[in-house]
Amino acid sequence: MTGVVSGRGCSSRPAWAEVDLAALRRNVAALAAFVSPALVCAVVKADAYGHGAVAVAREALDAGASWLAVALVEEGVELREAGIEAPVLLLSEPPPGAMEEAVARRITPSIYSAEGLSSVAALARHLDRRVGIHLKVDTGMHRVGSDPLEVPALARSARDAPGVYIEGLWTHLAVADGASRQDREFTQVQLSALAGTLSALRAEGIDPPLVHAANSAGAIAHRGSRLGMVRCGIALYGALEPLGGCDEPGAMALQESLQPVMSLRARVSALRELPRGARPSYGRLRPLEQDSVVATVPLGYADGVPRRWFSNGGTVLVGGEHRPLAGMVTMDQIVVDCGPGSKVRAGDEVVLIGRQGVAELNVLDWASRLGTISYEVLCGIGPRVPRVFLNGSREDRHEGQDEEV
Ligand SMILES: *Cc1c(COP(=O)(O)O)cnc(C)c1O
């Protein structure tokens, strides 16, 4: 292994998540070229969907992203503390009490309430600083955002607040990944509502320079949603569900070019030869159908391998083949039925997500077997799993920068 182990977790643990930064860079570059001239905002909330926010943010910026987006002020602070100076958009209005930290750290708040606006206005006045905000309009997602009819009043207050600068206007699409006619129509309804809101603001002489709507699916499947910037997460991580019914030119080729960034691996920690009828692990749920070699692998549900992985017939890759679990997933470990006469040895690598030889088990396979989406699988890989970053370009870049300075 040549990678850099992250500070979190214990690097001596024979279980790790590999984050292929070269794959991430290729994904960012491919997406940036595809949506150009729209800018790319790399969404790195939830520790970059479990990939490691700081490393991902650096690579994404270097590979062509212009903005970063986070869900929490704390997540923005982590980027700033790491020395990242690129614009960071906070996707929700900060809760009362967190606005000050956001503004102090130059994290761009989304604003959609009068309270949010007055708190940012008070800070801009107090600090005697220009503070950019992005007004968020609820065009149909109905989660956060201001009603389209209320945006003009909010925008007027923002315009009239000294120091406050309306840098962006945005919305979020609810069914950009939907293939049905209804879904595609609803996306158009949302985009029309955003366009209508923008016209209403322009009629009052307010013209936010950055208008954005698209998530990954929107950016790829709905040309009209790209606008000034696309906010992409899952596509950059190479875990976008293939978009059905998508007739955008080049969209299929782009999707096929996106490569998975994360793999989840561990080493066999123990082996036992067990007789037919033995029932490994909690609950003694399933008898071995024949004498078999059972391997213990040190990853469990505390690491993001759900108990359902056993119940739903999940496999792992051992010796380049899919092998079933021999019993219930436990908190820290799984048991794998390697089959009679298996040549597996203690210390051999087991792949839970990723490739081994020609065999592959990807995040989308996990999602469909678990009845969930790739996002939840990735975010579930817990903080005690060390992240190993492969193919980072950080050191090279540092040297380059030193020479320039
Ligand atoms: C998470 C999120 C995104 C990114 O969505 P992907 O489907 O991962 O591309 C974009 N915009 C908002 C508001 C989000 O919450």
Mean pLDDT of 307-313: 97
Residue 8 has pLDDT above 60, yes or no: no
- Smallest CA-to-CA distance from 111 within 80, 144, 135 is with 135
Q: Is 111 helix (H, G, I), strand (E, B) or coil?
A: strand
358 CA distance to ligand 1 centroid (A)? 32
Within 6 A (CB) of ligand 1 lie: 43, 45, 91, 172, 215-216, 231-235
Mean pLDDT of 82-98: 96
User: What is the distance between the alpha carbons of residues 247 and 224, in angstroms, rounded to a whole number?
Assistant: 13
Residue 328 has pLDDT above 90, yes or no: yes
The CA–CA distances, whole Å, from 9 to 6, 14, 228, 376, 387 equal 8, 11, 39, 20, 8
Quick one: which atom of ligand 1 is closest to the CA of 232?
9
Q: Which one of 70, 91, 234 would you pick to mutate in the ligand 1 pocket, going by the greatest count of ligand atoms within 8 A of its CB?
A: 91
213 CA distance to ligand 1 centroid (A)? 10
User: What is the distance between the alpha carbons of residues 265 and 287, in angstroms, rounded to a whole number?
Assistant: 26
Higher pLDDT, 245 or 330: 330
Q: What are phi and psi of 101, to 5 degrees?
A: -60, -40
Quick one: which atom of ligand 1 is closest to the CA of 170?
13
- Smallest CA-to-CA distance from 225 within 267, 280, 182, 184 is with 184
pLDDT at 45: 98
Fold (CATH) for 262-404? Lyase, Ornithine Decarboxylase; Chain A, domain 1 (2.40.37)
Quick one: which atom of ligand 1 is closest to the CA of 219?
9
Fold (CATH) for 21-237? TIM Barrel (3.20.20)
Q: What percentage of the chain carries pLDDT values higher than 70? A: 94
Sequence-ordered strand ranges (E) for 146-305: 164-170, 210-214, 229-232, 262-267, 270-274, 292-297
pLDDT at 396: 43
- The ranges of the chain annotated as CATH 3.20.20.10 are 21-237
Instruction: List, for residues 367-401, the tens digit of each pLDDT value.
Output: 999 999 999 999 999 999 999 999 876 544 433 33
Instruction: List, for residues 92-127, the tens digit of each pLDDT value.
Output: 999 989 999 999 999 999 999 999 999 999 999 999
Measuring from atom 6 of ligand 1, which residue has the nearest CA? 233
DSSP string covering 167-207, please? Answer: EEEE---SSTT--SHHHHHHHHHHHHHHHHHHHHHHHTT--
Mean pLDDT of 120-144: 97
Instruction: List, for residues 192-236, the tens digit of each pLDDT value.
Output: 999 999 999 999 999 999 999 999 999 999 999 999 999 999 999
- Which residues are known to be catalytic? 45, 282
pTM of this prediction exceeds 0.85:
yes
Look-up: residue for tokens 């709905």? Answer: 222
- The ranges of the chain annotated as CATH 2.40.37.10 are 262-404
